[in-house]
A and B are shown apart, each in its own frame.
Chain A
Amino acid sequence: MALRFEELIERHHDEIFAYVWRLLASDRSSDRKTEAEDLVQEVYLRAYRSFSRLRANTNHRAWLYKIATNCAYSRLRQIQGGRGKAAALANLAAVSGNAGDTLASHRQTGQPLRYLVNQLPAKQKACVTLRYLQDLDYPEIAQALGCSQESARANVYQAIRRLRLALEEKR
């Protein structure tokens, strides 16, 4: 029997929430839980609109991740844009919401890797999160990010390499 929309919530809600929550880890200025909740709602709203047009052989999990990735990055761009404007208004001299977001401050809080992950290029961060935290396989990552499997593998490899080198450098 074809998958029903209700099942899409039952099966994938928790992992999609965790995914957007992790992608939003770089947003330190707002309430991440509420932000993630709003984003998950947005993801499912978009999914609902196009659900009946999906082909029978669609991988629903990868499809949801694709929507979630697009929603999360749109939101992050908005947040960063907003911050940029706020900083410009304050003539860059005042303390911006992002000013404390440095490696030193994260060292103090014991979370240097979180800082390093947030410094990764967007695609590398998404790839490494999908692979090692969301447990997607490479064909699914490729579908979710609209790239080839080779590109997904390369991005995961580069992300891990960068993180390893950064951690070694830190010692």
Chain B
Amino acid sequence: MKTRIPKTDHAVVKQLRAALGDPAPLALGRSRVRLTKWLTDEAPLIQWGEMSSPLGKLYAAMSGRGLCAVDFGRGEAEFLERFDPRARLEKNPKSVERVIAQLSEYFAGKRSRFDLPVDLSTLTPFQKTVLEVTCRIAPGEVWTYHRVAEVMRRPHSSRPVGQALARNPVPIVIPCHRVIASDGALRGYSGGSGLKAKRWLLELEGAFA
């Protein structure tokens, strides 16, 4: 931005700039290196990769604790926006190799359960319990929101169960698509193209057979 300076004060500003001066490039460089190193130690590292899937482009991300995000049917920018803005994001296909291999087997109908460490640290204890219960639903089977709530011994919590499922950071791997409404309606799905994706996944698992 150009600074407009009144004519009479031009000389003063010129002298002011000369007097206060600029720091040496070496000092700037040293400080920048120190700061970058500090951030490397301080900020969590999220490594991510992508694959083509029948549901569109699928993204997966790993934190130090395990798989922390799966998303599909969205753009890369939208996927990356979900992470803590302080985290360091690094595209590293190798970090998600195992996740992508298992998902490929799943889409090919050769796998129905996943063997992956999952990071649910951003969720509340209630949300974690809902997702843990959801993992008990066998492929090809569907439960109602009410049944999940009952298994949790919170029979009046069907709606919070639905809300917790909507917060599932790793759809497909934690099969929140296997939970439907009591009247048989699919009700909702936050992954990819929504209900269309939910129906597709349930068909793949033979839930409608």
Contacts and interface: CB of A to CB of B under 8 A. Distances in A.
B13 interface: yes
A2 interface: yes
B27 A6 contact: no
A10 to B, nearest CB: 9
A37 B20 contact: no
B28 A17 contact: yes
Contact of A41 (B18, B38, B43): B38
The contact size tier of chain A is 35 or more
B20 A5 contact: no
Contact of B16 (A5, A9, A128): A128
B77 to A, nearest CB: 5
A111 interface: yes
Contacts of A25: 20
B81 A1 contact: yes
Contact of A114 (B9, B19, B34, B77): B19
B34 A133 contact: no
A117 B19 contact: yes
B5 interface: yes
Interface in A1-19: 1-6, 9, 13-14, 17-18
Interface of A: 1-6, 9, 13-14, 17-18, 21-22, 25, 33, 36-37, 40-41, 44-45, 48, 51-52, 111, 113-114, 117, 128-129, 131-133, 135, 137, 160, 163-164, 167
